[in-house]
Chains A and B, each alone.
Chain A
Amino acid sequence: RKEVEQDPGPFNVPEGATVAFNCTYSNSASQSFFWYRQDCRKEPKLLMSVYSSGNEDGRFTAQLNRASQYISLLIRDSKLSDSATYLCVVTGNQFYFGTGTSLTVIP
């Protein structure tokens, strides 16, 4: 069983839409959780950490549900520039990356 499972998409949404990604993890002892963004042929970049109480950064909201072992990312008012692959990351002995969810925002 993979440490982290993520719906690969693709998600194609119009500008201004709200879109949500989910990610499940298998190790209940996992300590930290992150969302990264990766543009085509570029390095992954930290989008935001995910805290137990949930956290927001502008149009982005991250949630953690330890009981069900999943994390989520909500993007409101999607922009063309949000088009990218979004990776969820869970820590343990190492950093465990999901395979990524592809988002394309359409004009």
Chain B
Amino acid sequence: NAGVTQTPKFQVLKTGQSMTLQCAQDMNHEYMSWYRQDPGMGLRLIHYSVGAGITDQGEVPNGYNVSRSTTEDFPLRLLSAAPSQTSVYFCASSRNREHQPQHFGDGTRLSIL
């Protein structure tokens, strides 16, 4: 059972480049979410999804797009990378948001030069 898989684990981009962070889960979870965590800071919610075809913004959505075409996958797109987006990105999933805990991927460490 792989759980939540994030790729890549590390990435360096130049300002203005775009890229997609991949997230996949094999637990048939309905709820998926993306967080960023800056050094010494807490988790901040970027976008979340309560099921295939449904997405919503979190606390810090600007500069990021998401889509949820399948239950398994929830990619995060950086449209035009900026140094302020240098962070660790975590994807998480849960059977539902009301009663079940989230399970996290092991993160993508992203540096924007």
Contact = CB atoms under 8 A, between A and B. Distances in A.
Interface residues of A, number: 20
Contacts of B74: none
Interface stretch (B13-21, B37-45, B65-73, B75-83): B37-45
Contacts of B35: 97
Interface bin, chain B: 20 to 34
B88 A41 contact: yes
A55 interface: no
Contacts of A44: 43, 90, 104
Secondary structure at the A interface, as helix, strand, loop or mixed, is loop
Interface stretch (A57-65, A66-74, A87-95): A87-95
Contacts of B45: 94-95
B103 A32 contact: no
Interface in B40-72: 41-43, 45, 48, 58
B87 to A, nearest CB: 12
A34 B98 CA distance: 12
7 contacts: A43-B90, A43-B104, A44-B90, A44-B104, A46-B102, A95-B97, A99-B42
